[in-house]
């Protein structure tokens, strides 16, 4: 694709040679001599980075980078332009619509004619798969579950019975939606299982990473709100309700019956215990732990147990100096004792 065509495609202004041929899109450090890349902002600090890149062209914000001897395209939003180019250059090859002879589809399941069902997929009784949805090998869809339109279920994903998935949902390989919640009562020294008969609702535009687990509710539904993005190896327990536009990063866990508002961020390896409520727009820091039955008002939190981020920063700065503090205190104690001794001897 010629630079002039790329500038047109992006609605940007080209500074440089319109005839240069671009064959790839790449990050600024990985880029080769026929690649296009981007800089978030034109900045003198980044000039060296830009100059050092092998890329044939750099997408920059508005005003082009003066002092840079490279082709540039100036746009309003370089990051978004980069995403559009990545999508343009990497349109995924897609198998033709239809059901593989090597798949197993129950008689009462309804598969849209525009869906793709690959080999070794199993679809249970009464399940429904919407138009444009793509089920990779090894996917299991349980009885009565519904997958909306334009969803992608990557290899070896398990969607148990009674799960409702909206449109444009991606679930990465190995994830399990709708396994039993973890609930028992103890009677006479035995753990008796509380049957987990609820379901899971995944709303539109959700993305779920690889090997993540989202349990079904005891009764009612576990809910993942519209546009929420969940990373790999995350645990979402039974009856959790996550709002819209949230971000849950890898290896984080949310325990039973906790609720997250909208646009909440739970960072990597954080743990939210059970029966917690977290208000809209809050941020739970990486590795932190929110205690059970707490209600967090809007804010940033860190530490285990989690506290407001500012308080945690202060506590951490002191923690590192604890041994020193301890010495100071022992010193104070000695000096105080000395004073007391003198005063007593004077009397």
Cβ(234)–Cβ(252) below 8 Å? yes
Judged by CB under 8 A, the stretch of 12-20, 45-53, 58-66, 176-184 that binds a copy of itself is 176-184
**72: contact with a copy of itself by CB under 8 A:** no
Is there a catalytic annotation at residue 238?
yes
Q: Please list every residue from 267 through 326 that binds a copy of itself, using CB under 8 A.
A: 268-269, 271, 273, 286-287, 289, 304-305, 307, 311, 314-323, 325-326
**Rg for the chain (alpha carbons), in Å?**
28
- Read off φ and ψ for residue 89, nearest 5 degrees: -80, -20
Closest CA to 171 of 199, 126, 202, 198: 202
Q: Is the dihedral angle over the CA atoms 94, 95, 96, 98 positive or is it negative? A: negative
Residue 258 binds a copy of itself, judged by CB under 8 A: no
CA 326 and chain centroid, separation: 42
In the set 166, 253, 266, 301, which binds a copy of itself (CB under 8 A)?
253
- Cα distances (angstroms) measured from residue 184 to each of 193, 197, 292: 4, 14, 18
Q: Per CB under 8 A, which region of 7-15, 64-72, 133-141, 293-301 contacts a copy of itself? A: 133-141
Q: Candidates 8, 52, 336, 341: give the one binding a copy of itself (CB under 8 A).
A: 336
In the beta sheet, which residues pair with residue 309?
none
Catalytic residue among 172, 191, 238, 275: 238
- The least CB distance from residue 272 to a copy of itself, in Å, is 9
Check binding of 232 to a copy of itself (CB under 8 A): yes
Task: With beta carbons less than 8 A apart as the criterion, state whether 20 and 36 touch.
Answer: no
Binding window for a copy of itself (CB under 8 A); candidates: 1-9, 14-22, 56-64, 170-178: 170-178
Question: Reading across the β-sheet that carries 235-236, which strands appear in turn?
Answer: 104-105, 122-123, 140-141, 158-159, 176-179, 213-215, 235-236, 253-254, 271-272, 289-290
Name which of residues 91 to 120 contact a copy of itself (CB under 8 A).
Answer: 93, 100, 102, 104, 118-120
Residue 54 binds a copy of itself, judged by CB under 8 A: no
Q: How long a stretch of residues is the chain?
A: 347
- Give the interface size with a copy of itself as a residue count (CB under 8 A): 114
Q: Tell which positions 182-211 bind a copy of itself, by CB under 8 A.
A: 182, 184-185, 187, 189-195, 197-198, 205, 207, 209-211
- Residues classed as catalytic: 238
């Amino acid at each position: 694709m010629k630079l002039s065509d790329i500038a047109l495609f992006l609605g940007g202004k080209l500074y440089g040679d319109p005839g240069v041929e671009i064959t790839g899109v790449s990050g600024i450090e990985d880029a080769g001599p026929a690649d296009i890349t981007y800089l978030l902002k034109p900045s003198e600090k980044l000039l060296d980075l830009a100059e050092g890149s092998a890329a044939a062209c750099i997408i920059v914000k508005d005003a082009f980078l003066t002092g840079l001897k490279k082709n540039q395209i100036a746009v309003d939003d370089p990051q978004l332009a980069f995403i559009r180019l990545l999508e343009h250059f990497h349109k995924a090859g897609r198998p033709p619509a239809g059901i593989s002879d090597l798949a197993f589809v129950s008689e009462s399941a309804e598969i849209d004619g525009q869906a793709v069902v690959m080999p070794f997929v199993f679809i249970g009784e009464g399940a429904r798969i919407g138009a444009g949805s793509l089920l990779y090998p090894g996917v299991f869809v349980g009885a009565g579950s519904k997958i909306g339109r334009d969803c992608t279920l990557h290899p070896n994903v398990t969607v148990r019975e009674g799960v409702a998935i909206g449109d444009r949902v991606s679930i990465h390989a190995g994830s399990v939606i709708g396994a039993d919640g973890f609930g028992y009562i103890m009677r006479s020294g035995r753990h008796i299982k509380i049957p987990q008969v609820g379901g899971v609702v995944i709303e539109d535009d959700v993305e779920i990473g690889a090997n993540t687990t989202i349990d079904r509710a005891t009764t009612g539904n576990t809910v993942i709100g519209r546009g929420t993005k969940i990373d790999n190896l995350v645990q979402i327990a039974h009856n959790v309700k996550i709002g819209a536009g949230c971000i849950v990063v890898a290896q984080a866990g949310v325990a039973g019956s906790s609720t997250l508002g909208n646009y909440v961020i739970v960072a990597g390896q954080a743990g939210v215990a059970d029966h917690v409520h977290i208000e809209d727009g809050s941020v739970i820091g990486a590795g932190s732990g929110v205690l059970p039955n707490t209600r967090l008002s809007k804010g940033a939190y860190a530490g285990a147990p989690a506290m407001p981020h500012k308080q945690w920063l202060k506590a951490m700065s002191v923690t590192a100096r604890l041994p020193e503090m301890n010495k100071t205190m022992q010193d104070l104690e000695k000096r105080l004792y000395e004073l007391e001794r003198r005063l007593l001897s004077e009397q």
